[in-house]
Structure 1
Amino acid sequence: MASTKTNPESGFNPTTKTFHSLRPPIYLPQDDAPISVVDYALGYALSIRSASCWPDSTAALIDSATGQRIPYSDLLKRHKSLSYYLQHVLKLSRHDVALVICPNCVQVPILYLSLLSIRVVVSPGNPLSTGSEIARLVELSGPTIAFATSSTAHKLPKLRLGTILVDSPEFESMMIRTTFDLDLDHGPQPSQSDVAAILVVALCRSSAVAAGERASPPVLLYTVPLFHVFGFIYSLKSVALMETVVMMPRFGLDGMLKAVEEFGVTDVAMAPPVVVAMVKSGSSERYDLSSLKSLVIGAAPLGKDVIAAFKAKFPTVELAQGYGLTELTGPVSRVLGPEESKKWGSVGRLYGLLEAKIVDPETQEVLPPGKQGELWVKGPTTFKGYVGDPEGTIENMIINGWLRTGDLCYFDDQGFLYVVDRLKELIKYNGYQVAPAELEQLLQSHPGVADAAVIPYPDEEAGQLPFACVVRRPGCILDERSVMEFVAKHVAPYKKIRRVAFVNSIPKSPAEKILRKDLRKMVLALLLTTSSSKL
């Protein structure tokens, strides 16, 4: 509970040196009345259905590729039928682990709900992973069964209960059988408590922003993968709030814009590179995007220059940045509403269940508003540890209940959080710390740059040099000198780009995070094989 000495403007308590949430309080179920994530999500959905004027045929899930629609009435029936089949036919039970290797599709949220309802542990994986990477995931999580698609099943090893294809007629039949009563164990697992807690946060957030403000349910387009914590949690949240969700099996800018036009999408969850692409591509002019109201941005910071360019091109679309961690079962903060979205560069205020500290990574001194340091977070959604990870790692990450995020951040005097960069990504140049994210945001604002990333390059005198990898826009003439001069005009001398390589693409994860290790390998290979600046 926050002390009376907590500053009502910033949420900072100078006595405890802790930042408290400025959001309305959120109340979780009591320990003596536990509730599972499925009970909570579906119970909330049913209450909305009974109280709202939205038709029962409102689409819950839409496949953007095929146009298949699953209304809420069918979704609930399919969930119950599939849950029964998993429990009574396949004999899955509490503590069994199910591996899910699927691209985004309408079957996956129903599968998640059904597995969670019978207390099966869900282990989602990247469908683009190689066979050896999936084998490592199997080794860590120990699944008894796998769910895949016809395009991913060949990469899976044999499991005790085999692999079920979610895009097969057999899986469809599992969801439309006669439903019987389920024999569910209602004792909550710690992991489900975490998910239920964060679901409460998401519901309160969305209801505060959206409920009562729109005459019809919002239509969300998910460009984020469902195996990522962002997509996993939001898919459950969307079911609970009866939001229509459009699933894209494979992301492409034109495909996304076409889906916005075709399905009247109001909200899109995406990573910063997609925002950059919307700003720089002429594709948006070919589609009717009038239904679009907001973009929810996560996974990485979004630069002020990019925000300014986006608002100039799409003045009626709200940009709502957020920040979250898998280790906290999802979101930590988010911008809410038009007024807060004016705080360009901020990832919003803390959610109601969380507390935070900013800690100097060198001295461990706890810092006040305006000072940069490592973000530490505490709350009921903190994870219990990594599967198969040594205990020492957890002990280093969680100290007296505080999770060390590894992110360099600061709060302003109004309680808004700003993410500077990952601490481990900082470039050490002549004793100065240079944040790659700041330089990347600046480079992305250049009209001739389609994409960019900055990595450290070893140097005997300076320690490390900021090295820029740049993707030119088609038809643009851009050389190493012009890139370095552009950056030099906008930053302090120690932040200057010292070397540049032009590349065809920046390697990224499905969540659109830069794969810096892969990028460093690319640069090393370039420097070892040629003196050219073209990969």
Structure 2
Amino acid sequence: MAESANHCQSSDPTTGFCSQTRTFHSLRPEVPLPPPYQPLSLPQYTLSLLRSSTATTGCGDTTFVINATKGDSLSYSEFIAQFHSLAHCLQKNYFLSGNDVALILSPPSLHVPLLYFALMSLGIVISPANPLSSDSEIAHQVQLCKPVIAFATSTTSSKLPSLKHGTILLDSPEFISFLSEPNVDPNVINRVQVSQHDTAAVLYSSGTTGRVKGVMLSHRNLIALIAGFYHIRHPQKGPDPPHPVSFFTVPLFHVFGFFMLARAFSMGETAVFTERFEFEGMLRAIEKYKV
């Protein structure tokens, strides 16, 4: 986060410009961040904010994410239980270690956010790619991120090469069973030590000026962004304020869709997406889910 303007003696109080360093500083109060040495993953941090902001009201039955194309949804309690179960099963069945990279090649579905949270909570680097990419584009992204495992669907898996730990199909009975493992230790993600400075995700540029480039984001990068939104939020006023609902016009593999998903979770909001953007479908979703 940028330093406060008062860190520079000669900074302009109206613009934040410091003539000594020729740098603009934020005029906003500094955002409280966890100590940088504290082991903390993005899922752990967002979960702590969620529990803090909803300590009195609770959010278990509140809907977190909706696939408007199919009408499916997950409440907060369902989402948390399923991503813990998935993390437990991935840790138990696959020999993945911290900073291993997992390539995700899937159309939008409720399984994708579950996978993001489960993998990042284990210190695994997620690398979501556009499922409409060509075989050569996927091959280039594989060269960039060097994944040891991939998560795809039966319609996208043919684009992937053979990897160390193979490819898990999100529409397979095996993966579905991972979401409802009985007797899961709720502290499974707390036993994994993830440094805030570890890479959380490798996302990709659009490729408009050449071949796509991979961009590494650390857990702390994302924690700082979430913290900024969380601490400047405006409490809803009135006796019965409307519940915040957002509609995603960008896919979940996109940096904005990925980040806004984590932001919505940290604030106890509801996120709505469609499997493919279509204007009339968006209008129907806005009306139906009171976006």
Partner residue, 1:452: none
> Are the structure 2 counterparts of residues 55 and 143 from structure 1 closer, same or farther at C-alpha, using a change threshold of 3 Å?
closer
The 8 Å contact of residues 62 and 75 in structure 2, kept in 1 or not, is answered as: yes
The 8 Å contact of residues 54 and 216 in structure 1, kept in 2 or not, is answered as: no
Query: Considering only aligned residues, what root-mean-square deviation do their CA atoms show, in Å?
Result: 2.1
> Are the structure 2 counterparts of residues 134 and 55 from structure 1 closer, same or farther at C-alpha, using a change threshold of 3 Å?
closer
> Are the structure 2 counterparts of residues 49 and 173 from structure 1 closer, same or farther at C-alpha, using a change threshold of 3 Å?
farther
Structure 1 outlier segments of 4+, above 6 Å:
none
The 8 Å contact of residues 199 and 236 in structure 1, kept in 2 or not, is answered as: no
- Structure with greater strand percent: 1
The 8 Å contact of residues 63 and 246 in structure 1, kept in 2 or not, is answered as: yes
> Are the structure 2 counterparts of residues 240 and 105 from structure 1 closer, same or farther at C-alpha, using a change threshold of 3 Å?
same
> Are the structure 2 counterparts of residues 150 and 223 from structure 1 closer, same or farther at C-alpha, using a change threshold of 3 Å?
farther
Superposition TM-score, scaled by structure 1 size:
0.47
Partner residue, 2:207: none
The 8 Å contact of residues 33 and 227 in structure 2, kept in 1 or not, is answered as: no
Q: Does 1:190 align with 2:198?
A: yes
Q: Does 1:153 align with 2:157?
A: yes
Q: Does 1:200 align with 2:224?
A: yes
The 8 Å contact of residues 147 and 164 in structure 1, kept in 2 or not, is answered as: yes
> Are the structure 2 counterparts of residues 148 and 213 from structure 1 closer, same or farther at C-alpha, using a change threshold of 3 Å?
farther
Q: Does 1:209 align with 2:233?
A: yes
Pairs within 5 Å for 1:223-242: 223-242=249-268
Q: Of 11, 14, 18, which residue of structure 2 is paired with 1:9? A: 14
Pairs within 5 Å for 1:119-518: 119-178=123-182, 179-180=184-185, 181-182=187-188, 183-192=191-200, 194-213=218-237, 215-265=241-291
User: Could you tell me how far 1:201 is from its partner in structure 2?
Assistant: 3.1
- Higher Rg: 1
1:63 and 1:223 map into 2 onto residues whose CA distance is 12
User: Could you tell me how far 1:91 is from its partner in structure 2?
Assistant: 2.2
Q: Match for 2:24: what amino acid?
A: F
Partner residue, 1:294: none
Q: Of 39, 42, 50, which residue of structure 2 is paired with 1:45? A: 50
Other structure's SS at 2:218 match: helix
2:164 and 2:157 map into 1 onto residues whose CA distance is 15
The 8 Å contact of residues 66 and 73 in structure 2, kept in 1 or not, is answered as: yes
Q: Match for 1:244: what amino acid?
A: T
**What does the per-residue CA deviation read over 1:418-464, in whole Å, with 9 as the maximum and x for residues that have no partner?**
xxxxxxxxxxxxxxxxxxxxxxxxxxxxxxxxxxxxxxxxxxxxxxx
2:260 and 2:71 map into 1 onto residues whose CA distance is 21
Q: Which runs of 5+ in 1 are unaligned?
A: 266-535
Partner residue, 1:21: 26
Other structure's SS at 1:250 match: coil
2:221 and 2:100 map into 1 onto residues whose CA distance is 22
Over the matched positions of the two proteins, sequence identity in percent amounts to: 38
User: Could you tell me how far 1:236 is from its partner in structure 2?
Assistant: 1.3
2:279 and 2:47 map into 1 onto residues whose CA distance is 33
User: Could you tell me how far 1:116 is from its partner in structure 2?
Assistant: 0.6
Q: Which runs of 5+ in 2 are unaligned?
A: 201-216
> Are the structure 2 counterparts of residues 141 and 59 from structure 1 closer, same or farther at C-alpha, using a change threshold of 3 Å?
same
The 8 Å contact of residues 203 and 241 in structure 1, kept in 2 or not, is answered as: no
User: Could you tell me how far 1:207 is from its partner in structure 2?
Assistant: 4.5
Q: Does 1 or 2 have the higher relative contact order (CA < 8 Å, sep 6+)?
A: 2
**What does the per-residue CA deviation read over 1:387-414, in whole Å, with 9 as the maximum and x for residues that have no partner?**
xxxxxxxxxxxxxxxxxxxxxxxxxxxx
Other structure's SS at 1:158 match: coil
Partner residue, 2:88: 84
Other structure's SS at 2:246 match: strand
Q: Match for 2:33: what amino acid?
A: L
2:176 and 2:26 map into 1 onto residues whose CA distance is 44
Partner residue, 2:213: none
2:38 and 2:226 map into 1 onto residues whose CA distance is 21
Q: Match for 2:258: what amino acid?
A: F
Superposition TM-score, scaled by structure 2 size:
0.83
**What does the per-residue CA deviation read over 1:121-143, in whole Å, with 9 as the maximum and x for residues that have no partner?**
11111111011111111122111
Q: Match for 2:174: what amino acid?
A: E
Other structure's SS at 2:64 match: strand
> Are the structure 2 counterparts of residues 100 and 46 from structure 1 closer, same or farther at C-alpha, using a change threshold of 3 Å?
same
User: Could you tell me how far 1:19 is from its partner in structure 2?
Assistant: 0.9
Other structure's SS at 2:243 match: coil
1:221 and 1:135 map into 2 onto residues whose CA distance is 32
